[in-house]
Structure 1
Amino acid sequence: MTGYASAQHGASATGAETDARAPQTRRLGLEIRSVNSRFLDLSFRLPDELRVMEPTLRALLTARLKRGKVEVRAALDSDDGNSLQDPPARLLQRLNSLQDSVRAWLPSAAPLTVADALRLCANAHSGNEDWSEAVPALAEEALTALLAAREREGKRLATMLLDRVKQLRALAAQAVPMVPLLVEQQRQRFMERWKEAMALTDGSTLPEAARDRALTEATAFAIRIDVAEEITRLDSHLDEIERLLKKGGEVGKRLDFLIQELHREANTLGSKSAALDLTRISVDMKVLIEQMREQVQNIE
């Protein structure tokens, strides 16, 4: 199922090289996105500092998720209020010494800019931060929020699907009395044709034989357009869909199969149609079933 959750964590890190000024604060942001998939497919977009945490995150997600294409993103950002702090003097001295050593061997090398110095100082400082406890805790928080979002979406989808089931039952109920009516109408047409034929006959055909033939054709027509079996199977599939939706759990694959069976019965109903009203019912059923199929794709 689809879902999205994010969590933020602010960490204060003070390295051994820092002076007495206020420590630099960095924010850890983590997002989890999930879309439907037949299997569990995990992908991670982590900064270099957090790549070592990927196995921990993978184990955490695998333990609580069964299906879905899940993407985990993490980012480390400096707090706006502290991002321009003065770099430690000892670190600047070290950079200057390193620059002199490099330029002694490479005289044509460009000198460090202010931006370069600030970036290198920030990178050196960030290396002292330990996220081994913060990352799993933050991932647990985001994952709990994701599961809650998926559960809320699942309830909305279940409500929608149950409404479509109700509409399909109403359409099936409309179709049930139509078949006997159509059979009776067709029988009347055959009998009228039989009477017309008897009025024009020269006596070479026995009236009883012609009448029996007309009734036989009417019976064959009734068998050909009978959709009682399709309606029964459709009702059975709808019962099973209702049962699965009320039961909950991992029902996505079974619902997908039942939707295919519903579509099959609606198609058969349309192919047997002998009246525009039955054709309309078949079309309306297929529209509702297609709406259900699209939503079932999002159910785990």
Structure 2
Amino acid sequence: MTGFARVDGHGDGYSWTFEAKSVNGRSLDLRCRLPSGFDSVEAVARAELPKRLARGNVNLTLTVNRAQAVSQLRINRELLAQVLELAREIEGAGAAPPRLDSLLAVRGIIEPVEEDETESRERVESALKADLAKLIDQLVVNRLAEGARIAEVLNGHLDEIARLVDAASACASTQPEALREKLRAQVATILGSFPALSEDRLAQEAAILIGKADVREELDRLRAHIQAARDLMAEGGAIGRRYDFLCQEFNREANTLCSKSADVELTRIGLSLKASIEQLREQVQNIE
């Protein structure tokens, strides 16, 4: 869910910079910081972003600068005609003809033109919305690139979990014959201390102990979870929530394996398994 994007643009006397930062989040949360008067751009962002992203805290910032406007000038021809008419009357009375700079210096002959910004502002907002689309595209690409790197890390953790499951399966204490030998020794000790116990009762207790100590079911489920995790990653899309739930199931089986273990080696493997699962879960928090 981590990503960054930046787009710069300019037009009609304006320049702007879009920035978007995305970090981990349980759901999609968009926070916008835009200059006053650009509410339509924020509306587009809130409409378009959920179409491309499912999770993450996204901060969108827009900075707009406007160049100093250059005023345009125009000649007030009606007033100029009146001034020229008066000049001709004065000239007829023997006065010298007025100079051009004197005529233009008459107040009101040259006046500034107030620019109509409506059309210009519409073009700027249209350009901003186009750049916003580019920004979202760039953010999605950057998040996908980050996701590809995390996928390599996740696969590494899954490989390590698979290796530990195989090691637990190969551990002698997980084999039924090893459990039976251990129970035979325990039964012989019990019979020596309590000879009155019936063999049927001892057989029942032995069966219960074997069932409680057998971790093959947990190992089978762990293998199934590993395959489910690989299938999720191959599926693509927004898999973060389901992957996080799967990590909880991983942890549940590892806890059960450790609680059943009566062997130092199996316990050591179980603890390493829990550590690898926790590392996997931490990375899963970074994906959508």
Where 2:38 maps in the other structure, the secondary structure is helix
| Residue of structure 1 in register with 2:219 after alignment | 231
Where 2:22 maps in the other structure, the secondary structure is strand
User: Is 1:282 the equivalent of 2:266?
Assistant: no
One of 45, 50, 58 as aligned partner of 2:38: 50
Q: Max radius of gyration: which structure? A: 2
Q: How does 1:101-250 map to 2 (within 5 A)?
A: 130=121, 131-178=124-171, 179-180=174-175, 182-190=178-186, 192-193=188-189, 197=192, 205=195, 215-250=203-238
Query: How far apart are residue 292 of structure 1 and its match?
Result: 1.5
Query: How far apart are residue 60 of structure 1 and its match?
Result: 2.4
What amino acid is the match of 1:143?
A: I
Query: How far apart are residue 88 of structure 1 and its match?
Result: 5.4
Deviations 1:179-234 (A, max 9, x none): 12641441242255268x2xx89xxx47xx66665555443322111111111111
- Contact preservation (8 Å) 1:194, 1:214: no
Are residues 190 and 86 of structure 1, via their aligned partners in 2, closer, same or farther at CA, if it must alter by over 3 Å? Answer: closer
- Contact preservation (8 Å) 1:32, 1:72: yes
Q: CA RMSD in A?
A: 2.9
* Number of equivalenced pairs: 242
| Residue of structure 2 in register with 1:6 after alignment | 6
What amino acid is the match of 2:156?
A: D
- Contact preservation (8 Å) 1:190, 1:218: no
| Residue of structure 2 in register with 1:254 after alignment | 242
- Calculate the TM-score normalised by the size of structure 1: 0.71
Where 1:132 maps in the other structure, the secondary structure is helix
Where 1:6 maps in the other structure, the secondary structure is strand
Rounded to whole Å, the distance in 1 between the matches of 2:264 and 2:65 is 65
For structure 1, list consecutive stretches of 5 or more residues without a partner in the other structure: 14-25, 91-123
Where 2:132 maps in the other structure, the secondary structure is helix
For structure 2, list consecutive stretches of 5 or more residues without a partner in the other structure: 74-113
Are residues 33 and 211 of structure 1, via their aligned partners in 2, closer, same or farther at CA, if it must alter by over 3 Å? Answer: same
Query: How far apart are residue 277 of structure 1 and its match?
Result: 1.4
- Contact preservation (8 Å) 1:33, 1:71: yes
Are residues 151 and 86 of structure 1, via their aligned partners in 2, closer, same or farther at CA, if it must alter by over 3 Å? Answer: closer
Rounded to whole Å, the distance in 2 between the matches of 1:194 and 1:36 is 58
Provide runs of 4+ in structure 1 moved above 3 Å: 85-90, 209-219
Rounded to whole Å, the distance in 1 between the matches of 2:198 and 2:19 is 79
Rounded to whole Å, the distance in 2 between the matches of 1:228 and 1:255 is 24
Rounded to whole Å, the distance in 2 between the matches of 1:10 and 1:166 is 50
Where 1:176 maps in the other structure, the secondary structure is helix
Rounded to whole Å, the distance in 2 between the matches of 1:183 and 1:158 is 39
Deviations 1:123-148 (A, max 9, x none): x99x7752212211111111111111
Query: How far apart are residue 276 of structure 1 and its match?
Result: 1.6
Are residues 266 and 86 of structure 1, via their aligned partners in 2, closer, same or farther at CA, if it must alter by over 3 Å? Answer: closer
Rounded to whole Å, the distance in 2 between the matches of 1:192 and 1:265 is 33
Where 2:125 maps in the other structure, the secondary structure is coil
Are residues 35 and 86 of structure 1, via their aligned partners in 2, closer, same or farther at CA, if it must alter by over 3 Å? Answer: closer
- Calculate the TM-score normalised by the size of structure 2: 0.74
Query: How far apart are residue 11 of structure 1 and its match?
Result: 2.7
Where 1:274 maps in the other structure, the secondary structure is coil
Rounded to whole Å, the distance in 2 between the matches of 1:50 and 1:86 is 20
Query: How far apart are residue 294 of structure 1 and its match?
Result: 1.5
Rounded to whole Å, the distance in 2 between the matches of 1:155 and 1:249 is 12
